[in-house]
Structure formats: C-alpha cells, structure tokens
Amino acid sequence: MADIAVVDYGMGNLRSVQQSLRKVAPTASIILTSDPQEVARAGRVIFPGQGAMPDCMREMDERGLRCAVLDAAKNKPFLGICIGLQMLFEHSTEGNITGLGILRGQVVRFASHLLDQQGDKLKIPHMGWNQVHRVAKHPLWQGIAQDARFYFVHSYCVVPQEVAIVQANTDYPTPFVCAVARDNLFAVQFHPEKSQDAGLTLLKNFVAWKP
C-alpha cells in the first residue's frame, strides 16, 4: 500500500508532481498509478490533470478510475490540481462536458479581449506567477504568506455554487476562485509542483494533513 497515489490517466506529465512529492516526503512511498485498486489502497490521493477537460474525463473513464476517484475524494486526504480541480465540478463549458459533480458549480472560460489595469490585453491562457489571496484558514496554507505567488496555466476557471468551499481567489483581472476545500478534499487551480518554495510548502502540508 502506497502512502501517496498520484492518479495517472495518461493526460500530461506527472513527473514533476512525483519529483516534488519526493522532495517534501523523502521517506513516503509515492506511486503514479492508473490502477483503481492502487488508488483505493493508498493513504492519500493526488488528482492532477492537464490539457482539455473532455479528454481528461474520457481518459479517466477509459481506465475505470471514476469510482476510485469519487471514493478517495470522499474518504481520504485528496488534492486536486488544475484540471483535477475543474473535474470535481458538475459541468464545464469546455466541450459542454459533465464533470464528476462532487462539488456544485460550473467551469467556464475566461472572457476574451479583457484588459488589465494598464490597458494591455489579458492573454489566454492565464500563464505565469499570480497571487493567491486566501479567504479562509486551512492547515494546507501553513507557512505560506498571504498573497504568495503560485504558477498558473489555464484557460478555464471554476465558479463554485457554495461560497463556503472557497479557500482563495486570484485576480485576472477580476477575482476567480483558485482554491477550494471541503472536509478531506482540497483542490487548487495553480501548480504547486511548479511553484518553488510556496508550492513545496503546500505539498508538504498536504502530506502531513490529518483531516
């Protein structure tokens, strides 16, 4: 039984997730797996995702991972990253796809032709280091400064229906939700595995988290 299972459904590069976990939890057993039983047996689960959400949903289902993911999201420390956050919601306008529906709300694209405060156009994808403004307390934020910068790369963002799950917002140019939490579940739009010290601290907190 692994301490931490990183769910691998063939979408994108999970090596950096694995490397960063090794760095913060050198003694833990960490596996990248597409086997639902290994996910079920793991102590903690990380649910990443890259690319387009419809592809991610399809690849996850083709590997028979849906039940194991739903179960983990209800019962053990669970961290969603990027598309792994978006997939937890009910629906995305990206390919008009139904999500896992663990959290109520939608995933929508950033509006085109937005301008920043200087009047320059905002690019899509939202790519680079942006500030994470916390609106709630949570053990996963321990040791991370308010408004610390994390690395983002995405064109869609989540719009939760329940305000109570919102953990943090980021401005682009207006605030969008970049982190949510409920019980044993935590999920972020940014990439902690690529966010240097702040990201490693968050992962370290996740590894030690006892919800």
Partner 1 sequence: MLAKRIIPCLDVKAGRVVKGVNFVELRDAGDPIEIARRYDTQGADELIFLDITASSDDRGILFRMIEKVAEQVFIPLTVGGGVRQVADVRNLLNAGADKVSINTSAVLNPQLVADAAGRYGSQCIVVAIDAKQTSAGHWEVFTHGGRNATGLDVVAWAMRMEELGAGEILLTSMDRDGSKIGFDLQLTRAVVDAVEIPLIASGGAGNLQHLVDGIKQGGADAVLAASIFHFGEYTLTQAKQYMAKQGIEVRL
Strands 4-7 and 105-109: unpaired
Is-catalytic flag, 193?
Answer: yes
- Distance (Å, whole) CA 45 – CA 68: 10
Active site residue 82: yes
- Residue (116 or 183) nearer to partner 1, CB: 116
* Closest to partner 1 by CB, 1 or 115: 115
Q: Which of residues 149-168 bind partner 1 (CB under 8 A)?
A: 149, 151-155
For the window 50-89, what string marks contact with partner 1 as x by the rule CB under 8 A?
xxx-------------------------------------
93 binds partner 1 (CB under 8 A): no
| Residue of 56, 82, 157, 178 marked catalytic | 82
**Residue 125 preceded by cis peptide, ω within 30:** yes
- Residue linked to tokens 């949510």: 180
Q: Give the one residue of 195, 202, 205, 206 binding partner 1; rule: CB under 8 A.
A: 195
**What letter does residue 120 receive in the DSSP assignment?**
P
170-175: which pairs have CB atoms within 8 A and are 24 or more residues apart? 170/130, 170/131, 170/132, 170/133, 171/130, 171/131, 171/133, 172/110, 172/114, 172/122, 172/126, 172/130, 173/114, 173/115, 173/116, 173/117, 173/122, 175/133
The H or E element containing residue 71 is: helix 66-75
Q: Which of 56, 126, 154, 193 is catalytic?
A: 193
Stretch that binds partner 1, among 25-33, 36-44, 47-55, 135-143 (CB under 8 A): 47-55
Is residue 67 flagged as an active site residue?
no
Instruction: Report, in Å, the least distance between residue 40 CB and partner 1.
Output: 26
Among 4, 5, 7, 20, binds partner 1 (CB under 8 A): 20
Q: Taking a C-beta distance cutoff of 8 angstroms, is the pair 32, 69 a contact?
A: no
Scanning 37-45, 138-146, 175-183, 187-195 for contacts with partner 1 by CB under 8 A, the matching segment is: 187-195
Whether 168 contacts 178, CB under 8 Å: yes
Q: Which residues bind partner 1 (CB under 8 A)?
A: 11-13, 15-16, 19-20, 22-23, 50-52, 112, 116-117, 120-131, 149, 151-155, 171-172, 193-196, 199-200
Residues recognised as catalytic: 82, 191, 193
